[in-house]
Structure 1
Amino acid sequence: MQSFTLQSVPLVKFGRGVYKNILEFITNASGNVLIITCNSFMKSGKADIIHKVAERIVHKVFFKITGGEPTVELIDSIVNEYRNLSIALVIAIGGGAVIDTGKAVSAMITVNDSVIHYLENVGDKNHPGTKIPFIALPTTSGTGSEVTKNAVIARTGIEGFKKSLRHDRFVPDVALIDPSLTDGLPPEITASCGMDAIAQLIESYISTKSTIFTDSIALPALIPALQGITQLCNSRFDDEELRDTLSYASYISGITLAHAGLGICHGIAGPMGGLFPIPHGVACANLLPSTISFTVESILKNRENNVTTLKKIGILGRALKENENETDENASRYFADFCEKLLENLPVRSLGKYGITSSDTVLIATASDNKNSPVKADTSMMSEMILRRI
């Protein structure tokens, strides 16, 4: 059997209503509590129970409202605001960007410095791994950041970047994954976040670093997510079971990406988000079909060196087509077509809506990489993938 290593994961509580467990952690905190969240959660009514608990305890509960993807300036600003306020617990309640913000703040409060000095391939220092205890509650189903050890920090512009603040100790101490927090999420956000999770599951499943462990949890989470996301964003918008399925897929995608890595879709989406103000999930949703088509065609042209990947994608195609007798080749082509049609039926805006033009494709592609993809795309091919969705 193939060997593998299981990295640290948080204490995870999954299910409807588990967000109320946060009250116990707030009550038992040894000092002040900083809750980093978003406007949508504050307006949902679910924040009311936290306010009621805060009125009964001795220590203070601070709320910091934020929005958009975390930047160097945002992290530094929050840290400077709360560093000297005896924060004993940081809680992030929101989408992947909010959770990454909370994760970075919990790490940087302990270090009297700017976060930029500790970002991979940007900074000049190694973080000691110290942090304030951190709890994550996702309100979208996308990044899986609630179970990973890195926070993605951005700086947008011509010299922009999206780089990770990473350390084994930055994994959240607790993840409360309550699908009810995603109820009512607009179809556009449901679609883009969901496609991010789906892309992470697919890419980690066929990654060159995949293992029997990651395969065993990725596949059962991926198939129901692929089958349900279109309905969830259209006729079954209020379906709790589909919401639960996508929340679970997002959670598992965080574990599999942490252990097996990602592929071309994320290899392009990251740099794209540094150069242009495009939400990460939107970038992934736009890029996934073309990267899958490229992968399938590449492995079919070079089957002898891609036997395992062809079999894996064949499994996906047969499961979606519900035909166990289909050949690996036909099932793989079916899977590629499925991904193309999936995007067509989801409310995802094209790349051009975010200011990306045909003249920008080479710039983005040059900054991109293949990560752990089983097949490699050159700059020209990546440019074509981007161009298809402008």
Structure 2
Amino acid sequence: MTLTALPATPGPATIGPFTLPNRVILAPMAGVTDRPFRQLCRRLGAGWVVGEMVTADPSLWHTRKSQLRMDHRGEPDPRVVQIAGGDAEMLAQAARLNAELGAQIIDINMGCPAKKVCNKAAGSALLRDEALVADILDAVVSAVDIPVTLKIRTGWCAESNNALRIARLAESAGIQALAIHGRHRQQRYTGQAEYDTIAEIKSRLSIPVIANGDITSPEKAAEVLAYTGADAVMVGRGAQGNPWIFQQISHYLHYGEKMALPTLTERQQVLLGHVEALHEFYGTTMGVRIARKHVGWYINDDLRFTQPQQRTLKQQFNALASPETQFDWINDVMAPGAAMRLLAKGSYAA
């Protein structure tokens, strides 16, 4: 079949010297968007990816967690590093140091709703103090000669939707792109994202605006882009267990039809490669442990299984304690017809 392109839509955004190859971005997610996952999503169509947030306090960068989060070896341009903190001077210093370490774009986190982040007056807690927001934006933009972007929510709570005021501060400070999650902080990830705020901000700003929140399918991505006029969508939880979503969205936006779902063999190859990369990146002990949550998400996304079956398979995989048994299990569960035999056995023995 010959595909026909849809009528022309706004081209990919340009941020500093970088032009997005498409309109789909991987959101930064702590504990998820590590280097193996970022590289996988880039290979499967993400226009660009944002790393896990790094604390702005350089005295904590010696920890293994921070060292791994700051590892961008082998990644294609642009390398986007997200920093989090509540002190303008410290954030500016963190931006400078990350630029010296090879960051090509600095993203400021004012969207994280996690209690441990907000309790330190960072993440989305900053939205309550617009004067501090202005100080931080001015300090970070002035500190580096690479593009600075910003990630926010619609506000702290339903009564304080101040995203438009924050957006105007950002544009005035020289922020070169703004990502907006369509929820306020108190919602965390509950309820449904709203896009009216994003649409209003896009209509008032000249910098690229990126829509985030509940982007879980190609159709939803197209609807959100059309409704908000945003330059791109940012996919977070929708990519967990489904890294193919980026190429699926790009295909749909270009051709107006859904591309075929990955075959069982394609899923097997991606899953094996992802788990192998986790073992290599984290080492055997941590790699085995971290693979469990990622494989759990792949299982949740596997349409072959009911929810009770998914629970059984995740219990089997979580009991495995070595790379070898994890690879054996993946090969077995992805072999045609073999998954039902595994479910019938209950436990797993390679």
TM-score, scaled to structure 1: 0.30
Query: Which is richer in helix?
Result: 1
TM-score, scaled to structure 2: 0.32
Give the number of the structure with larger relative contact order, counting CA–CA contacts within 8 Å between residues 6 or more apart. Answer: 1
